[in-house]
Structure 1
Amino acid sequence: MLTGRRGFIAAGASAVLAGLAGCSGTLGGSASGGGTTITMVLTPGTPSDIRTRYEPMRAMIEGELDEVTVEMQVPQDYSAVRPALNSEQAEIGMDDVTLISNPDLMDVYGTTVTGGSAFYFSVMLTNEDSNITQREDIEGRTAAFADRLSTSGSIFATYALKQAGLDVGDAPDGDPVDFTGSWSNHEVALEKLGAGEADAATTYGGNGMPHISSSYKSDFPQRVIDKSSALDVLDTESPKFRPFWWSFPIPKQPVYARKTWDSEYKTQVGDLLVNSDKGLIQQYYPEDYNEADLPFTTLRDTSIDDYQPVIKRLNNLGIELGS
């Protein structure tokens, strides 16, 4: 299905182990002391921050299902997720690129919903005093992106720059031609912009919205006003940046289980997530939990068809996700 010149997600067992941060304990949904341990691979990022965000989800599964322990693992990058599932070191994943790489290996629970929306946005930001006003202005500049396989932080933005007429070269795998690019993660991309190490940065709306002054809200596309779940965190953090491009609504991350996971808990976890709501998951907030960081309240029915826009961009950029 996905063809091109690159192979991001081909990895051996040693690479899988190296790609999971803080890997310890019982993996593979193994029985332990009369119960079971389920390993859930989170989206790549800063391990402490990501684990904190997903703590209510972890606590809810443990609290609602008897004799279940959930271990959260954070890979160093997206390329480590599918090998972890293939080698049965993990049971649950939640990123669209891994699902797209081989949907036949996964059973999809659904697409995450927060703030009443199952969509999010990719956004390009620049400093408020910058003369960048459109994508074409990136030519000759420096742009900071998230992980190379991040849908919102890399793939959508790189494709958008290509559609604007810029030569993206081998990006996101290699170097672009018409601008200088750096790839890291969502937080670092904004840090580079704020530190003057980049002229623009790309991230997802929930990460960028706090750094956007409310004075720019009147310029937001109507699609962002209608479908963003991050408007309530607008203008809540510093430094402040100015948006100059928004994607169309992108389906949020799916939550899926590996097809080879043969356990009654597989169905139980899926039913719990699909039937969850804000009232239920609020019961599992840790003390001083920041609700604005919550990445999940429930799941919406989804299929691979919902992610065709992502597949289109992967194909156009020549990204091969492996066989």
Structure 2
Amino acid sequence: MTDKRATFGHSRRNFLTAAGAGATLALAGCMGSSDDDETTITWVMNPAEEAVDIATQYRPLFNYLEAETGVTIEGQETADYAATVQALQRADENDRMFADTSPGAVAQIPDDIDVVGMRLAFGSELYYSLITTTVDSGIDSLEELEGETIATAGATSVSGTLAPMLMLSQAGLDVGGAPDGSPNDFDWRPSDHDTAREQLVQDPDIMAAGTGAFSTAPHVPQEQFDELSEDFADISAEYDGAGSRDPELKLLAVSDPIPRAPIVVNADWDEDLRYELEDLMHEAESDAFQHDPVALAEDLSMDPEILDKDEDELTEEEQEQLSTFADHELWFDGIEPADHSDYAPISDLANELGLDFEEL
């Protein structure tokens, strides 16, 4: 895949405009199966943000694939990153299984999965990890986090834990082999991206949070990114929305760019249907990833009329509802063909931390 850093766009959509929203999936724990009338594909759904119903979020893409092929896609939500990896490891040639995963899964279980493609967020193939603190914490640098408590996302999350651990290590803190062990210079609380951010805001004992930029960039003013990163504004799809939400957070560090998360497939599944679905993902136009806004509002128990109100007409409750609506927007609008080699930087990151991904 070619390097497009110089030409990445960073436009954002306020609302989704194409048809295709449906009711929340009835989640199933079984793998893909078929009978005389119906072929079922299992899509393992990797959690990233605690507040998001990922089955609702993915409905437009599932509708598109179902309409084009006649299959039924059943979302199988997992509890955490490790559970997603375990589901993929258990799959065999009888399991018709796709998954959205963390970039780290490519390095962690390379023999169990093939990479279908890299998810593109409004033209960007790359994203970032951030370490933030509250505006009144008194913390101005990573070095000052020695002896403090830091919240992060899941232990094997690249943007939520691995990249923050590397940034902390490069700042001189002893991470003690984390995430495959306990840090020596600070206390560590792993969870998920949204929970880490909320713990930072609500728990006075937590002095910083490591998360993907998609979780915390809306709470960080753009000028802070301009000061700490040479390329965040040009590359990150999150830049346009930076500083748009309360409470405001203070930016302590921005990672190097990270390859965006992949769609993967059970490597042992080998039939024409698999490759037809992969081609459809690669060929999909942006509207295949978009909800009908009215249908999404109704799925979220919102009054669709809120969508037509001016910002100054919204009550505090309606503003919160609109934030929930935006969070359920599918965060990518394309899937570009990719393979294991596109995720080599993740292995390099793990090597810098002295980790063996396959042993995590």
Is the structural similarity TM-score above 0.5? yes
Q: CA distance change for structure 1 residues 78 and 225 in 2, over 3 Å: closer, same or farther?
A: same
Are 1:159 and 2:166 matched, yes or no?
A: yes
Query: Which of residues 294, 298, 301 in structure 1 aligns to 2:334?
Result: 298
Instruction: Note the C-alpha offset of 1:24.
Output: 5.3
Name the counterpart of 1:318: 355
Q: CA distance change for structure 1 residues 26 and 62 in 2, over 3 Å: closer, same or farther?
A: farther
Instruction: Note the C-alpha offset of 1:81.
Output: 2.0
Q: CA distance change for structure 1 residues 78 and 90 in 2, over 3 Å: closer, same or farther?
A: farther
Instruction: Note the C-alpha offset of 1:303.
Output: 2.6
Q: Is the 8 A contact 2:27 2:77 kept in 1?
A: no
Name the counterpart of 2:8: none
Q: CA distance change for structure 1 residues 27 and 261 in 2, over 3 Å: closer, same or farther?
A: farther
Q: Is the 8 A contact 2:97 2:266 kept in 1?
A: yes
Q: In structure 1, give the amino acid aligned to 2:154.
A: D
Instruction: Note the C-alpha offset of 1:234.
Output: 1.8
Name the counterpart of 1:50: 54
Name the counterpart of 1:91: 97
Q: CA distance change for structure 1 residues 293 and 208 in 2, over 3 Å: closer, same or farther?
A: farther
Give the Cα separation in 2 of the matches to 1:170 and 1:322: 13
Secondary structure class of the residue paired with 2:288:
helix
Query: Which of residues 112, 117, 135 in structure 1 aligns to 2:119?
Result: 112
What value does the CA root-mean-square deviation take over the aligned residues? 2.5
Instruction: Note the C-alpha offset of 1:266.
Output: 0.6
The 4+ residue runs of structure 1 with deviation greater than 6 A are: none
Give the Cα separation in 2 of the matches to 1:322 and 1:222: 34
Q: CA distance change for structure 1 residues 140 and 233 in 2, over 3 Å: closer, same or farther?
A: same
Q: In structure 2, give the amino acid aligned to 1:223.
A: D
Q: In structure 1, give the amino acid aligned to 2:34.
A: A
Aligned length: 301
Secondary structure class of the residue paired with 1:222:
coil
Give the Cα separation in 2 of the matches to 1:86 and 1:176: 29
Normalising by structure 1, report the TM-score: 0.85
Are 1:31 and 2:34 matched, yes or no?
A: yes
Name the counterpart of 1:247: 255
Q: Is the 8 A contact 1:111 1:118 kept in 2?
A: yes
Give the Cα separation in 2 of the matches to 1:197 and 1:266: 48
Q: In structure 2, give the amino acid aligned to 1:143.
A: I
Instruction: Note the C-alpha offset of 1:49.
Output: 2.6
* 1:262-318 Cα distance to aligned partner (Å, 9 max, x none): 332211210111111213333666433538832222122323222222112323332
Q: Is the 8 A contact 2:28 2:75 kept in 1?
A: no
* 1:9-39 Cα distance to aligned partner (Å, 9 max, x none): xxxxxxxxxxxxx995473321145121111
Q: Which runs of 5+ in 2 are unaligned?
A: 1-24, 298-324
Name the counterpart of 1:15: none
Give the Cα separation in 1 of the matches to 2:126 and 2:111: 24
Superposed counterparts of 1:1-323, under 5 Å: 25=28, 27-32=30-35, 34-45=37-48, 46=50, 48-66=52-70, 68-88=71-91, 91-95=97-101, 96-195=103-202, 196-282=204-290, 286-288=295-297, 290=326, 293-315=329-351, 316-322=353-359
Instruction: Note the C-alpha offset of 1:47.
Output: 7.8
User: Which deviates further from its counterpart, 159-168 or 120-129?
Assistant: 159-168
Instruction: Note the C-alpha offset of 1:193.
Output: 0.6
Q: CA distance change for structure 1 residues 24 and 226 in 2, over 3 Å: closer, same or farther?
A: closer
